[in-house]
Chain A
Amino acid sequence: MSENKTQIDEIANQMKLANDGLTDQDKAYFCDTRPHAVEPYRGILEKFANWARSQSLWILGYGTGCGAIELRPLMTSRYDMYRYGIQPRPTPRQSCVFVIGGYASVKTTKRIVRSYEQMQGPKFVLGLGSCTVNGGMYWDSYNTINRLDHYIPVDVYIAGCMPRPEALLAGFNTLKGIIREGKAEGMNKYIENFDWYKANQKKIIKDWNMPDYNW
């Protein structure tokens, strides 16, 4: 009986996150449960939900690189993203699209991971600019990441240096199509390959002083 209990405890401990980066005092403040994938609804309900998701894209107002400057004109009368149901939100809790604006330095990547994990699913990532595809002109930099999708799942890439706001709007329309087809399952992909993504992130972020999953 006690053997069984020990085994159950061991399995339960394996299911928990180590949170090694935190001090013992801080560990009490953070959740150590592993995230779990959520199955989509079935049939017409999921299609309807996906339609609503695609028509209401809330961008996280966090500019992560030089490309973030291309986001601002979208709000103006010239591009007017509101007519496509796109609008900015100031907090990750309420947003569903994360636009990575160009190169991501190691320091920024840490914040990208934190913000991405705090967003509630389903959530979508747009990689803006060549730097997110392969590092672009920073491909051999000591301080930037090269492939964004080694660290978080990316739904749409918009190549260019810099892509103009029109390209960004085209990217949003592609994203809408992907969402409506039910193929934008980045969040579940992240959770299913959680250990791989975490290993990649920890390989470059040396000062890991946050929980393993930012609930």
Chain B
Amino acid sequence: MKDIVLKALYTLISLFVITNYGLLLVGTMARVRAKVQGRIGQPVWQPYIDILKNNFKRTGIFHGVMFYLGPVFRLAGGLGTYLFIPAVFGSVVFVNFSFSGDLLLVMYFIFFGQLGMALGAGRGGHPYSPIGVARGLAQMTAFEVPFALSVIAIAAQYHTLSITELVAVQQGGVLNWIVFTNPLATIAAMISFLGMSMGNPFSVVIAPQEIPIGPPTEMQSSFLGMLQTNRAIFNAAKLVLFMNLYFGGATSIWMMIIKTFIIYLYTVVVGASFPRFRTDQAIRFFLGIPTLIGIAAVVLQMI
């Protein structure tokens, strides 16, 4: 009983840290983007104020039970992704529930939130929501191909799908990191990560003004506040996942922060440098060279 209470406490601490880290990261990167554009940019704490403001809205429009459940599923997807990844290798608090789930479960959770959101957004009745969802899912399916091939390659290389074990084999020196032991798999996954983080050049699916804002078109007030909170958690969870898979994981919270910050900075730099793809172009892109690199990574493991 004591163990369960302790584990629950550790989980809450872990979630608290990752939520705040995720929100500050979103704020910091918005500022980095502003600097690139020659602006000062929003305060780093702006995401907190936006979430507070949305939760303090006095009215909200209700579209049925499924509309409520959409953001809940999305949040469950974000929490699920994070809670089955060890954020800090060897830490008691930040190991989360990585012992009870593996990489396939985490990949499922990455998709799960979007599917839940699709149900909720469809219930909102706004014609732009399903279009946004369809475009989001299409792009998601496309970038999952190189990512899945990359995961197959590293799973074949180390004969495991457990994230903790994958982190364990990378310990003992920089050259043990998968980025050096399997560069092709890493390249395929990092290109796929650009799509996964939905920044430029793959941001059309959530771009304001085009199909107005995509799936959350009809989401407002506290529904939107929930989605924004989830975006921070989900973002941080994906960064932690990629750090664990390809960059040797982290043995302390500071190492985790440095590594994930650099991985996120990479997506922001790419986003600030390249124009956007349309959704159909993005799908063709992911199914082209990144997929071939992924296949090459798998084939190399088979030889």
Q: Which positions in A face B, CB cutoff 8 Å? A: 38, 40, 49, 52-53, 55-56, 61, 76-77, 80, 82-83, 85, 87-91, 93-94, 96, 120-122, 187, 215
Contact = CB atoms under 8 A, between A and B. Distances in A.
B219 A93 contact: yes
Contacts of B30: 82
A94 B209 contact: no
B217 A82 contact: no
Given A49-B52, A87-B42, A215-B61, 17 more contacts: A38-B59, A56-B46, A56-B50, A56-B52, A61-B208, A61-B209, A80-B39, A82-B34, A85-B43, A89-B213, A90-B213, A93-B217, A93-B218, A94-B224, A120-B59, A120-B61, A122-B58
23 contacts: A38-B59, A49-B52, A52-B49, A52-B52, A53-B53, A55-B49, A56-B49, A56-B50, A56-B52, A76-B39, A77-B38, A80-B34, A80-B40, A82-B34, A82-B46, A83-B39, A87-B42, A89-B208, A91-B213, A120-B59, A120-B60, A121-B57, A215-B61
Nearest to A57: B53
B20 interface: no
A76 B38 CA distance: 9
Contacts of B59: 38, 120-121
Contacts of B224: 94
Contact of B57 (A61, A87, A120): A120
B208 A56 contact: no
Contact of A52 (B40, B53, B58): B53
A28 to B, nearest CB: 13
A82 B50 CA distance: 12
A215 B61 CA distance: 8
A96 B57 CA distance: 9
Contacts of A61: 208-209
B284 to A, nearest CB: 26
B95 to A, nearest CB: 35
Contact of B41 (A52, A56, A80, A122): A80
Contacts of A83: 39-43
A94 B39 CA distance: 25
A82 B41 contact: yes
Contacts of B219: 93-94
Contacts of A53: 53, 56
Interface in B183-222: 208-209, 212-213, 216-221
B49 A120 contact: no
Main secondary structure of the interface of B (DSSP, over half): loop
Counting from the closest, the 10 A-B pairs by CB-CB distance are A77-B38, A90-B212, A93-B220, A56-B53, A49-B56, A52-B52, A38-B58, A90-B208, A80-B39, A82-B42
Nearest to A122: B58
A82 B41 CA distance: 6
Contacts of B61: 93, 120, 215
Contacts of B39: 76-77, 80, 82-83
B37 interface: yes
Nearest to A92: B220
Contacts of A93: 61, 217-220
Contact of B217 (A85, A91, A187): A91
Nearest to A50: B56
A122 B57 CA distance: 6
Contacts of B50: 56
B35 to A, nearest CB: 10
B53 A120 contact: no
A120 B221 contact: yes
Contacts of A87: 42
Interface in B2-53: 30, 34, 37-43, 46, 49-50, 52-53
Contacts of A96: 53
B99 to A, nearest CB: 40
Nearest to B42: A82
A129 B50 CA distance: 28
Residue among A40, A55, A56, A76 with most chain B CB within 10 A: A56
Residue among B40, B41, B212 with most chain A CB within 10 A: B212
